[in-house]
Structure 1
Amino acid sequence: MESILAPASPTAAVSTPDSGSRHWEWQYLDLMRHIWEAGDERIDRTGVGTRSVFGATIRFDLAGDAMPLLTTKRVYWKTATRELLWFLTGDTNIRALCAQNVQIWTDWPLDRYRRETGEDISREAFSQRIVEDAAFAKAWGDLGPVYGKQWVDWPTYQAVGEGLYRQGPGINQVAQVVESLQSNPGSRRHIIEGWNVAELDAMALPPCHKTYQFHVADGRLSCLLYQRSCDLGLGFAFNMWSLAALTRMMAQQCNLEPGHAVWTGGDVHLYLNHGELVEEQLAREPEGGATLTFARKPASIFDYGIEDFRVEGYAPQGHIAAPVAV
């Protein structure tokens, strides 16, 4: 039997709008196959190596409470939602995430701790210590000014003399976008930006999902996410869910119907050590779908809790494990 990973000639279009009876997830699987068979192979920052293409788009219609959860493998949407809600708090320390057993960000501080102390501590022990020891969390759990800091507290500076500046009040981009969607829905400036050039070097990881632009048409709110770098095998599923969840939250807060979640990737890649993941997922066919309803309408975009998210109809195929490249 011929391997599904056998080399193939490059394909042209790698993504199409969801339409008719074709399951939206085929956009994802087509892109995965294209990257694995025709992507440019390179050594990346992690040293693991990737196959990569530049520029891809996946579109999902959020009408009818539909949500873009992959069905060819299980996506832990509660974990992704907890991360999104954490971003909205502006917090940059992993302590609150570890307390919920969300380990999405633990590997980066853990790697730094191991390098600087020489202690070969396990991930579980490190996470537990972060939760139980506030001083340890302060010393080792902070990620620098990552997503949440830029979203709700973008730094500003005020001149206090010739060549002298002091830090001014931070800018809450999320609150500004909610207000602009309500007061001026036709604006082309409904943008949340994470790429703060002045602070990139202070971040544990520069933002991958960096720019969100919202758009209102016919009473429906859509959002386009530009993601500069995407691990299609692991990261995309969370990124697509979070894009859709944030769009749904914004729509509810602004009394709009949900429109489309449009994901656009720059460097979209698969890690070379994810071959088994790719093989297994491409052997599966998508089926079914999921819906999201909210238990209530919170007072603001910042007041949602995990208990407000009610997902129904999600019956995915089994989880596919793969290593994370740090």
Structure 2
Amino acid sequence: MKNLHPEDQYLDMLKLILESGSERVDRTGVGTKAIFGHTMRFDLSKGFPVFTTKRVYWKTAFKEMLWMLSGGSNIRELVQQNVHIWSDWPYKKFIEAQPGDSADRSISMKEFEQRVLDSQEFADKWGDLGPVYGKQWRKWRTEDGKEIDQVSQVVDMLRNNPYSRRILFDGWNVGELDKMALPPCHKHYQFFVEPNTNKLSGALVQRSADGFLGQPFNVANLAFLTSLLAQQTGYDVGEIVWFGMDVHIYMNHIKQVDEQLQRKPKTFPTLKIKRKPASLFDYTIDDFELVGYDPHPAIAAPVAV
């Protein structure tokens, strides 16, 4: 029997959605083909799962994860690093807030981002995404006004109580969903230490997965986060397990998916972490290298906002 490439799990999922997914009207108005409930597993000791059948801009993905781990919730910190994946939501909110005869109603995304960069005051007002991922991960607010750093708790438990079934963090804060630019798609993370191998595995429960654009980022970032936690807490890397709930392809991505499905996966790269900083929150993008990443070309597709 021919050995399957681990990326075939992802390609088979895309095929399944195209062949048997139900057509659904979604909040964006674009429409999707969707399935409910899907799982993939990747052994990190056998390569880092950055997909190869199209280029995944892994530095952009890693910068996003580092921003979330920092507790960030404003696009200014991302735009400063040439990361634009969160800009659509505040830009749309800004445009819709302008009077119909206002010159600001017609400014471009590029002009909007430049204002965010040029003015901290403007960024505070229009670049803020609300209490999104990083806020919930690092500063979950309790009823009495205290803040809980869930990620630091995970680090502490991996060091001091590694066989607990409560090594997890979550972004789905029901009381603050209406304040978020976008409720968390990758909502629940949990970790597992195997005592016989000293390996750390990580899992992600994703309530909503954009199969073509977003999911490759989510899988890579789960592997990235698990690798960082393993280094910080003294474990080898094990598996990552991805659980998708509403897994979909937008109707305006179908041609792109068809193109991707014509391609054969290449060997996964290796993640090289160049140093071990004092804490999980002290890494920078320059600390990482993907050795041997040789993907097929990128395939452009629009973001549904």
- Which TM-score band applies after superposition, normalised by the shorter structure? over 0.9
> Once the two structures are superposed, what CA deviation does each residue of 1:217-241 show, in whole Å capped at 9, x if it has no partner?
0200001100000000100110001
Match of 2:41 in 1: 59
CA RMSD of aligned residues (A): 1.1
After superposition, give the CA deviation of every residue in 1:156-210 in whole Å (9 maximum; x if it has no partner). 132xxxxxxxx22x11111100000111111000001100000000000000000
Amino acid in the other structure paired with 1:71: T
Residues in 2 aligned to 1:143 and 1:20: alpha-carbon distance in whole angstroms:
47
1:154 aligns with one of 115, 140, 148: 140
Tell me the SS of whatever aligns to 1:199.
helix
Matched, 1:258 2:244: no
CA distance in 2, matches of 1:172, 1:295: 26
Say which of 67, 70, 90 aligns to 2:71.
Answer: 90
Tell me what 1:216 maps to.
Answer: 193
Q: Distance in 2 between matches of 1:107 and 1:85?
A: 20
Q: Distance in 2 between matches of 1:81 and 1:132?
A: 25
Q: Structure 1 stretches (4+) deviating beyond 3 angstroms?
A: none
SS of the aligned residue for 1:323 comes to coil
Structure 1 residue 316 corresponds to structure 2 residue 295: yes
- State how far apart, in whole Å, the 2-side matches of 1:125 and 1:237 are: 29
Report whether the alignment pairs 1:188 with 2:165: yes
Asked if 1:101 corresponds to 2:82, the answer is: yes
1:239 is the counterpart of 2:208: no
1:198 aligns with 2:175: yes
Question: What is the Cα deviation at residue 20 of structure 1?
Answer: 7.8
1: CA distance, partners of 2:30 / 2:57: 25
Counterparts of 1:175 and 1:228, CA distance in 2? 24
Aligned AA (1:33): K
> For residues 181 and 20 of structure 1, do their structure 2 counterparts lie closer, same or farther at Cα, with a shift above 3 Å needed?
farther
2:11 aligns with one of 29, 33, 43? 29
Q: 1:186 and 1:135 mapped to 2: Cα distance?
A: 46
TM-score normalised by the chain length of structure 1: 0.90
**Counterpart amino acid of 2:153?**
Q
Aligned equivalent of 2:152:
175
d(CA) in 1 for partners of 2:69 and 2:137? 7
The one-character-per-residue Cα deviations of 1:29-49 (angstroms, maximum 9, x if unpaired) are: 000011011101010010000
- Counting only pairs closer than 5 Å after superposition, residues 294-305 of structure 1 correspond to structure 2 as 294-305=273-284
Go from structure 1 to structure 2 and tell me whether the alpha carbon gap of 1:112 and 1:146 turns closer, same or farther (over 3 Å shift): same
Q: Which of the numbers 76, 79, 84 marks the counterpart of 2:57? A: 76
Q: In structure 1, how many angstroms separate the alpha carbons of the residues matched to 2:24 and 2:159?
A: 45
Aligned-pair distance for 1:21?
A: 2.8
Aligned to 1:141: 127
Per the TM alignment, residue 213 of structure 1 is displaced from its structure 2 partner at its CA by 0.4
Count of aligned pairs: 298
Q: TM-score, normalised by structure 2?
A: 0.96
Identical-residue share of aligned pairs (%): 55
| Greater mean deviation of Cα atoms: 286-295 or 118-127 | 118-127
Q: Deviations over 1:107-159 (max 9, x none)?
A: 0000011111151221111111111111111110000000000001010132x
SS of 1:67's equivalent?
Answer: coil
1:9 aligns with none
Mark the runs of 5 or more structure 2 residues left unpaired by the alignment. none
